[in-house]
């Protein structure tokens, strides 16, 4: 049997986030475009050499990007929206980054979540213009590895069906034209790779794990029939991931050389499908057996047993043993983690360690013996030691869980009655203005925090610095004219990590970075034990800010499901249990805020949708416990206390019932990049609770003018009543510059003032 090890993709950001630093240096014009390209090339080659040193058989290229791989393909194929024609005198790279981030007079392309991960991709826009292949970046990466390192790699890029599925702008009639133009470009890219010597080409098709209609299955079949007929000499591996292959009986028979399946997140369904339908004996089977989305060391004996079962069921002659998906969703290596306790550290596997696991597993499948004598026993001991850790046997948490009753999930009064009580108690104007929570974290702030963490600054001096920043921004907010203020979250590095540092059951890493969007990297905490609240986490700062103003200051918390979904979570208990533990901890924090006199408390759930299974028919169980976790956290408050929440990219029309079920008094939605779509959704699916539609995109450095915001507000007023309507940016402002933040918020308040005047004069609809 032919057996090789490979991965779908490798993290491109580098062990120490070198990629981020190069990209941001170019944005700041600290390096030239030539220096930028040369430094990124060096990082690409280092990544390949690193994987070769680890012993992986087949290294992947094309998993690298200058910002986002969907954006890379869009630009390669000429899907550049017409609004960027005003930048025709700029370089192609400047235009590329304008599509990603916006420019002075041009709004960015829409950005949304990559399936059910915390990575965000740029949404390609088709406007009917003729498509053409401008530059084959995948070929360049392949030739770079071949010529510079003498390594024959496996090129990878997003497959045609997934690219079509995730592109916006076409309707039923123009879709056919789009597909007819697109498919020859895919064939051209593949043919050029074949001509250059590529032995295999991997096409990533995560959309094949979503719910597919009969028409969509037929489209997939036709796409690959034509593609293979166009390039008959290409060995194409269709790589699926995140869940099981949909319509397995038919799609496993696509006329390609191999099919890659996820045997982690789609394990049961994929195995059952092979048991029932077999696997084509003329194809390579890709067995995605190492979890590309968590950081836990694999039980390699168990993985080997699973692989052997699959091999016996499928009777294939050639297999690739690999990761369940790209390893870009995990940090690069555990080597740089010096402060984690050994019991936890020994049970972790980041990208490099996962590759080592694959090498060991592949060797055993080939030779029926282990490369290293004690590799299995060491794996079992590490997993067993963590399982026996006292942090996983917290009796206080277990007792709290047992004490929860149905009443703990319900507010005392329904929203309609609470709204009237809160209006009187809070004395808010029509169309109240506020922000999502965070304000810019300056270089000085980051340096001060770093000095404090290194013990170069006392706790007292650090606290004094944070108080000065809070006081300064309370004044700024009052000068701008915002109605509801925030303390700015200057004490927080990250909206999840901050709470992980203060709750038991969490571990915080030093260098476990993963990319969230663009150059934005996050360091998810690790939930490895029972979660318990021990002391107030946010009360001190919010109360300090509240004493400086007569306006209300919001308490700011991250919701239980977002903390769960944006952490690396223990895998020994169901996620539902961890969510419930988090909810109980936040419930205690909310009670502490309320007792301290905070009347508005925001519990953000931007990742609520992220945990959904990809197929809508499987949503019910997740949504039940996820919504209940939010309600358990927030339902103990008085009727006068107003609960806010915030969500990102929620695709409102198919998510309105869960949003409504949260029973939050006010929800703010990240909507500016796709505002028209949300307005259409609200016309069809009215929403009765308080709602704020983000009036400008904080992911772009540009400052929108008042008229641009007014257009959004006037459109919103067509579908949201005055009594419901809040005005806010579409997300937190932590990553923005201070000057652009103040300018944008001033314009937002001016727009709100104009809207109030229009409503009073009767000029508004």
Residue positions forming the annotated binding site for L-methionine: 436-438, 489, 604
- In order, the DSSP letters of 177-207 are HHHHHHHHHHHHHHHHHHHTT-S-EEEE-GG
CA dihedral in degrees (656, 608, 330, 319; nearest 10)?
A: -50
Which residues touch 668 (CB under 8 Å, ≥6 apart)?
436, 644, 645, 646, 647, 691, 692, 693, 694, 726, 728, 730
Q: How many CB atoms lie within 10 A of CB 216?
A: 18
Please, which residues have CB within 8 angstroms of residue 586's CB and are 6 or more apart in sequence?
Answer: 533, 557, 559, 560, 603, 633, 634
The annotation places the binding site for L-homocysteine at 436-438, 489, 604
The CA distance from 641 to 602, in Å, is 11
- The CA distances from residue 310 to 304, 317, 359, 361, in Å, are 10, 12, 18, 14
Residues written for the chain? 765
> 159: which residues sit within 8 A by CB, 6+ positions away?
203, 204, 205, 238, 239
Cα separation, 656 vs 394, in Å, equals 37
Q: How is residue 733 written in tokens?
A: 């402002």
Binding residues for 5-methyltetrahydropteroyltri-L-glutamate: 113, 520-521, 566, 610
725: which residues sit within 8 A by CB, 6+ positions away? 430, 431, 691, 692, 716, 717
Tokens of 498: 């901050």
* Residue 649 falls in which region: left (phi positive, over 0), alpha (psi -120 to 50) or beta: left
Q: How far is CA 396 from CA 215, 583, 585, 623, in A?
A: 53, 15, 12, 27
User: Could you tell me the two tokens for 68?
Assistant: 């986002």
**Do the bridges between strand 258-262 and strand 154-158 make them parallel or antiparallel, or are there none, so unpaired?**
unpaired
Task: Indicate the burial class of 494 (C-beta count within 10 angstroms; 0-12, 13-18, 19 or more).
Answer: buried
Q: Is 457 exposed, middle or buried (0-12, 13-18, 19+ CB in 10 A)?
A: middle
- Three-class SS of 302-323: HHHHHHHHHHHHHCCCEEEEEE
Burial class, 596, CB count within 10 angstroms (exposed 0-12 / middle 13-18 / buried 19+): middle
Q: Where are the alpha helices (DSSP H) in 102-195?
A: 137-149, 160-166, 172-195
Say how many C-beta atoms besides its own lie within 10 A of residue 82's C-beta: 10
Buried b (16+ CB within 10 A) or exposed e, 380-406: eebbeebeeeebbebeebeebeeeeee
Q: Which residues are catalytic?
A: 699
């Amino acid at each position: 049997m032919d057996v090789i090890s490979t991965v779908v993709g490798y993290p491109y950001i580098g062990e120490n986030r070198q990629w981020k630093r190069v990209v941001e240096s170019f944005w700041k014009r600290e390096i030239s475009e030539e220096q930028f390209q040369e430094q990124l090339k060096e990082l690409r080659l280092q990544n390949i050499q690193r994987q070769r040193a680890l012993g992986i058989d087949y290294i992947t290229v094309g998993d690298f990007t200058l910002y986002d791989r969907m954006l890379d393909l869009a630009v390669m194929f000429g899907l550049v929206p017409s609004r960027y024609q005003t930048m025709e005198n700029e370089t192609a790279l400047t235009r590329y980054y304008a599509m990603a981030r916006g420019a002075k007079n041009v709004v960015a392309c829409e950005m949304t979540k990559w399936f059910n991960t915390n990575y965000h991709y740029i949404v390609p826009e088709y406007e009917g213009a003729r498509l053409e292949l401008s530059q084959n970046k995948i070929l360049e990466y392949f030739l770079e590895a071949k010529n510079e390192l003498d390594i024959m790699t496996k090129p990878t890029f997003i497959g045609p069906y997934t690219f079509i599925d995730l592109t916006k702008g076409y309707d039923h009639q123009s879709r056919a034209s789009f597909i007819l133009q697109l498919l020859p470009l895919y064939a051209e890219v593949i043919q050029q790779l074949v001509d250059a010597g590529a032995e295999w080409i991997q096409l990533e098709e995560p959309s094949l794990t979503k719910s597919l209609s009969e028409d969509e299955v037929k489209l997939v079949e036709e796409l690959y029939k034509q593609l293979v007929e166009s390039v008959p000499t290409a060995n194409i591996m269709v790589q699926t991931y995140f869940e099981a292959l949909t319509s397995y009986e038919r799609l496993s028979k696509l006329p390609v050389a191999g099919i890659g399946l996820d045997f982690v997140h789609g394990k049961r369904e994929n195995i059952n499908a092979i048991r029932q339908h077999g696997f084509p004996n003329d194809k390579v089977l890709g067995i995605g057996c190492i979890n590309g989305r968590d950081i836990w060391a694999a039980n390699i004996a168990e993985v080997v047993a699973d692989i052997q079962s699959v091999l016996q069921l499928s009777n294939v002659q050639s297999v690739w043993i690999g990761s369940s998906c790209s390893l870009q969703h995990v940090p690069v290596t555990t080597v740089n983690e010096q402060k984690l306790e050994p019991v936890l550290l020994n049970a972790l596997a980041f990208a490099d360690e996962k590759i080592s696991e694959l090498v060991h597993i592949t060797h055993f499948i080939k030779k029926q013996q282990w490369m290293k004598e004690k590799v299995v026993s060491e794996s079992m001991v590490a997993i067993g030691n963590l399982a026996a850790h006292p942090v996983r046997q917290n009796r206080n948490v277990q007792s709290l869980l047992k004490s929860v009753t149905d009443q703990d999930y319900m507010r005392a009064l329904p929203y309609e009655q609470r709204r009237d009580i809160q209006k009187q108690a809070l004395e808010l104007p029509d169309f109240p203005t506020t922000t999502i929570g965070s304000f810019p974290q300056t270089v000085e702030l980051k340096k001060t925090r770093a000095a404090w963490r290194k013990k170069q600054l006392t706790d007292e001096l650090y606290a004094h610095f944070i108080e000065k920043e809070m006081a300064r921004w309370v004044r700024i907010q009052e000068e701008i004219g915002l109605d509801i203020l925030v303390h700015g979250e200057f004490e927080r590095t990250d909206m999840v990590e901050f709470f992980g540092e203060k709750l038991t059951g969490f571990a915080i890493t030093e260098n476990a970075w993963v990319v969230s969007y663009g150059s934005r990297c996050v360091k998810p905490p690790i939930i490895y034990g029972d979660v318990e609240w021990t002391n107030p986490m946010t009360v001190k700062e919010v109360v300090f800010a509240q004493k400086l103003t007569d306006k209300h200051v919001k308490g700011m918390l991250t919701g239980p499901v977002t903390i769960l979904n944006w952490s690396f979570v223990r895998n020994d208990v169901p996620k539902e249990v961890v969510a419930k533990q988090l909810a109980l901890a936040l419930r205690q924090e909310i009670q502490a805020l309320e007792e301290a006199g905070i009347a508005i408390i925001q519990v953000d759930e931007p990742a609520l949708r992220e945990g959904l299974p990809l197929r809508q028919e499987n949503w019910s169980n997740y949504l039940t416990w996820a919504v209940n976790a939010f309600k358990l956290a927030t339902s103990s408050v008085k009727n006068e206390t107003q609960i806010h929440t915030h969500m990102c990219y929620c695709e409102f029309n198919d998510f309105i019932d869960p949003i409504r079920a949260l029973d939050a008094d006010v929800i703010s939605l990240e909507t500016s990049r796709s505002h028209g779509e949300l307005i259409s959704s609200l016309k069809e699916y009215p929403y009765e609770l308080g709602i704020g539609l983000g009036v400008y995109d904080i992911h772009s450095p540009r400052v929108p003018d008042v008229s641009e915001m007014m257009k959004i507000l006037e459109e919103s007023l067509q579908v949201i009543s005055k009594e419901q309507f809040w005005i806010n940016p579409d997300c937190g402002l932590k990553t923005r510059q201070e000057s652009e933040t103040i300018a944008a918020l001033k314009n937002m308040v001016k727009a709100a003032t104009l809207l109030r005047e229009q409503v009073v004069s009767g000029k508004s609809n």
